[in-house]
Amino acid sequence: MKHRESQHKTLRFLTPKGNPCNVMFMEKDTTQLRAQRFREALDGAAFGPTELARRLGMENPQTVNNWRDRGVSARMAAEAARELGVSQDWLNGKDAPMHDGSIPRPRADGPLYVLEPLAPWDDETPLDEDEVELRLFKEVELSSGNGKLARTEIQEVTGPKLRFSRHTMRTCGVDPGNAVFGTNSGNSNHPLILHGATLGIDKGMTRIVDGEIYALDHDGQFRVKFLQRLPGGGLRMHSFNSDEYPDEDYDFDQVMQQRIVILGRVFWWSTIRPLRSSNRI
């Protein structure tokens, strides 16, 4: 047997007669095993390394190509296993089946999509490795007293949380520590963003990029608008439903006087649409 230091370990023992005896043990080369399993999983997928990199939100496909030689990094193993339709333990080189039955295997001759069942959860359900909790921002009515009209203020509300995917935030370039969520009110952006839609907001992005959607605190009112910069430090608010909601222009002084504050860029929204008719298919 040829001895290679990288794959073998040699221990020396003494026999009952005092003679030395070398015993050679094989060490499992997990790096090569993980690389081999990644190549096998990728060969069985319906896409190549470039598409896998895109699905994982990676800018450089070369990183995925490097996995052919050294296996998937520990940080990306869970997401890569999910996209490839294999067991994470198997992909990591552990003694586990390639397919554990929980994830459908991609087929090269099948459709490039997988319909997975929804996983219901409640407040007691622990977060997955790829999930974070986002805090809620909303309008809060402040106590006025003495017959004065109550006013509102945008505040973080304790209690409600939203579970969100780290992968989605990474794809959108959002630091999880800067992410909060709010609720859209009104139809100024209908049908793009419906009334009651949940919004993901990046507080770390308050710089105006023309044409992007932002959440605003307009003197205590929570608003969602497309923004455009105007000369002299002003801004224009544009609604998707521009037929009913014309553009609003504010110069710098008006922005200050009306306490218009950009809370952050809206990077995600989701809407529940109840079925209006009782006739169901």
Same domain, 213 and 183: yes
% residues pLDDT > 70 (the chain): 67
Looking at the fold, whether 19 and 147 belong to one and the same domain comes out as no
Q: For residue 217, is pLDDT > 80?
A: yes
Does any domain span residue 236?
yes
32 occurs within a structural domain: yes
User: Which residue, 80, 110, 140, sits at the end of a domain?
Assistant: 110
Same domain, 200 and 260: yes
| Total count of domains within the chain | 2
Tell me the per-residue pLDDT of 39-86, one tens digit each, with 9 for 90 and over.
998 888 878 888 888 888 877 788 888 898 889 988 888 888 888 889
Question: What are the C-alpha distances in Å from 255 to residues 15, 64, 103, 203, 233?
Answer: 89, 47, 52, 19, 9
Is the residue at 277 inside a domain? Answer: no
Q: Which domain holds residue 164?
A: 131-270
pLDDT for 143 equals 42
Q: Does any domain span residue 123?
A: no
Asked if 102 and 182 sit in the same domain, the reply is no
Stated pTM of the model:
0.54
Q: Note whether 146 and 263 are same-domain residues.
A: yes
| Residue 243 included in any domain | yes
118 assigned to some structural domain: no
The string of pLDDT tens digits covering residues 179-203 is 888 888 889 999 999 988 888 899 9
Does 253 lie in the same domain as 150?
Answer: yes
Q: What is the mean pLDDT of residues 167-188?
A: 86
- Domain with residue 91: its CATH number is 1.10.260
- On whether both 136 and 104 belong to a single domain, the answer is no
- Indicate if 49 and 157 belong to the same structural domain: no
CATH number of the domain within which 148 lies: 2.10.109.10
Q: Are residues 169 and 103 in the same domain?
A: no
